[in-house]
Amino acid sequence: MAVTTHPARASLTALGTSLMRAHHTRSAREPLIDDPWGERLVSDPERATLREVLLSGLDAQAREPLNALDPDELLGVLLRSHTSYGTVIIRTRYTEDALAATVACGVRQFVIIGAGMDSFALRRPPFASEVEVFEIDHPATQELKLRRFADRGLGLPRGVHFVAADLGVEGIDDALAGSTFDAARPSFFSWLGVTPYLTRAANLKTLRAIASCGTRGSQLVFDFHDQREYDTPPSDEGAARVRAQLARVGEAWRSGFHPSELGGDLRAVGLELIEDLSPDDLRVRYCAGSEDALVPSTSHHIARARVAA
């Protein structure tokens, strides 16, 4: 999600994930995704801020060998070594694979919840040429994104609808009701990088809203952390460091789901679980033979669900 805790700026995580996708596209020998837009949507001052934030999470010994790198090389190293790097790439690939499958079955509406600097509408793949894209995001992040389009001389992408909403106040169903979204047609929803930043109650409320505005045949992809990582001290040093880092910039992780209870949680809000991929599942499906050192974050899951009949 494009999490924003300050009304005057967009989320640092939204900017960072945008750069991660672009860096992977440019640097990997066999990239899982093709997303060159991220670097054009993030400004030089924002890159400098991200460098500072990422460096602050390293101890002096880890920082020392990085001092000789120029700023662009340094940012690339910091992004690639970040514990969420593989997750960002893998979840993008999984989501677009699932979207392509639903489009082949007739779905023509794609709702990106917490779109951040997602560039799908700019790099629209051939399979989605007739898909209407609805980007829901916090007004601050969406305003920044539209300003970036203008600054770079980019016209508004065709078939994309920008829906500004503070989802801490307004539900997804209400936000979409004020747009041209057709609730009578099957849709595909993506909700990536969001659930850790919300309370359990807020996550269940959002899932219920998605179910209420998605007709039969609609699907959702979302990612989440295993709740056990919140109930006990972090099992991975890198994950603990990232959690502390995010808390310092006002974008703290708050909750996850218990994988064994996910099916019941979804049924309670009107959804049916199709699949839940664990870190090991994701590693086997997407990372086997990878030369880009891609690994999913510890405790990170990707789930796909459909609106219950």
Q: What is d(CA 142, CA 17) in angstroms, rounded to the nearest whole number?
A: 15
Q: What is d(CA 172, CA 113) in angstroms, rounded to the nearest whole number?
A: 8
Q: Residue ranges of the domains in the chain?
A: 85-307
Residues 123-181 pLDDT 10s:
999 999 999 999 999 898 899 899 999 999 988 888 999 999 988 788 999 999 999 99
CB atoms within 10 A of CB 151: 11
Whether 7 and 122 have beta carbons less than 8 Å apart is answered as no
Structure token digits, residue 259: 């994988």
Q: How many CA atoms lie within 13 A of 219 on its CB side?
A: 20
Q: What is d(CA 185, CA 33) in angstroms, rounded to the nearest whole number?
A: 28
pLDDT number for residue 240? 65
Checking if the pLDDT of 250 tops 70, the result is no
Residues 85-124 pLDDT 10s:
999 999 999 999 999 999 999 999 999 999 999 999 999 9
**Which of the two residues, 53 and 274, has the higher pLDDT score?**
274
pLDDT band at 2 (very low <50, low <70, confident <90, very high): very low
The phi, psi pair for 197, rounded to 5°, reads -85, -5
pLDDT number for residue 174? 93
**Region 205-221 average pLDDT:** 95
Q: Which of 129, 142, 116, 160 is nearest to 16 (CA)?
A: 116
pLDDT number for residue 305? 98
* % of the chain with per-residue pLDDT over 70: 90
CA dihedral for 56, 57, 59, 61, sign (positive or negative)? negative
pLDDT number for residue 197? 86
**Region 56-82 average pLDDT:** 90
Ordered alpha helix ranges (H), the chain: 12-27, 44-56, 60-63, 71-81, 85-104, 139-151, 172-177, 200-213, 228-231, 237-248, 262-268, 279-282
Average pLDDT of the chain? 89
Checking if the pLDDT of 293 tops 50, the result is yes
Domain 85-307 superfamily per CATH: Vaccinia Virus protein VP39 (3.40.50.150)
pLDDT number for residue 141? 86
Q: What is d(CA 230, CA 235) in angstroms, rounded to the nearest whole number?
A: 10
Structure token digits, residue 137: 């995001």
**Region 57-82 average pLDDT:** 90
pLDDT number for residue 151? 92
Residues 10-21 pLDDT 10s:
678 889 999 999
Q: Which of 21, 28, 68, 73 is nearest to 42 (CA)?
A: 21
Which residues are CB-contacts of 240 (< 8 A; sequence separation ≥ 6)?
233, 234
Whether 189 and 113 have beta carbons less than 8 Å apart is answered as yes
